[in-house]
Amino acid sequence: MPEKNGAELFVKGMVYIYLNNTEKGIDYLIKSEQEVPGAGWTFTLKNMTIFKRCYGEFLNIKKSNNETKSIDFNGVISMSNLGIEGRLGDQCFYYIGLKVYAYRNNYLVETPDWIGRYIFKESSHDPYILGRYETIESTDSSFLDSLLGKGLPPKKAFNLKGGCYPSSITQDEKKYIQRIFRPLPYWKEQTNKIIDKLKHSDNKNRTLVALHIRRGNSKNSGRYVHSSTVY
């Protein structure tokens, strides 16, 4: 197979992974990422592979069989580019917007095999994308109207491309977002060891706050930038 550019290196790496030669496959994904610095798709898939290989038995993630009945929902919304555009921080913001929008409209969320499935409990239960839905840009006027509560979702079932976030959220929605990012038991156990040590190292039960705000390079390159209200 040719290795002339980042895309070909990426494909070759994935072929090795599918053939169960994981280490060699990851080497090619690393080379691919070096060819296209900051490429979220190589970063995500590389780490998903590492997660599955190193932590699979602890995570106990089962492939969704889409048992959730869509009849219980008003419609279906998917996001096929989740896990492809941006790295983990960006993907989390995309996921928040998707889930809050679905929550407001009682839509079933279907997602691809992105890295959040192996970190967050809520994400691990999302059904995989089953249909070939019409793709609607998040800048589409009919979608924006529905996001602002001025109209219904543009389709009964559609695939959303691009990030979105409501201009304001309720207290119930804040609690819902917090619930979305509860880690799976294995990660909770690992991180609690560190957090508890930080909080009680000097016998003070501290409240820990961490912010990772890195927006300038995205804005300068013309990409989607999350509003300050997200933080």
pLDDT the model gives residue 154: 95
For residue 85, how many C-alpha atoms fall within 13 Å in the half-sphere facing its CB?
Answer: 15
Q: Residue 1 to residues 12, 29, 31, 129, 171: CA-CA distances in angstroms?
A: 7, 15, 15, 30, 53
DSSP code of residue 182: P
Question: Which residue is listed with tokens 């691990």?
Answer: 124
Torsion on CA atoms 128, 130, 132, 137, rounded to nearest 10 = -30
pLDDT the model gives residue 55: 76
CA-to-CA distance for 119 and 90, rounded, in angstroms? 15
pLDDT the model gives residue 73: 92
Closest of 120, 133, 229 to residue 181, by C-alpha? 120
Closest of 80, 104, 67 to residue 158, by C-alpha? 80
pTM: 0.74
pLDDT the model gives residue 219: 61
Per-residue model confidence as pLDDT tens for the chain (231 residues): 778 888 788 888 888 877 878 788 888 888 887 887 666 667 677 777 777 777 777 776 665 555 555 678 999 999 988 887 777 888 888 999 999 999 999 999 999 888 899 899 999 889 999 888 999 999 999 999 999 889 999 999 999 998 888 878 899 999 999 999 999 998 899 888 888 888 877 777 777 787 767 666 566 655 666 676 777
CA end-to-end span of the chain? 44
pLDDT the model gives residue 131: 87
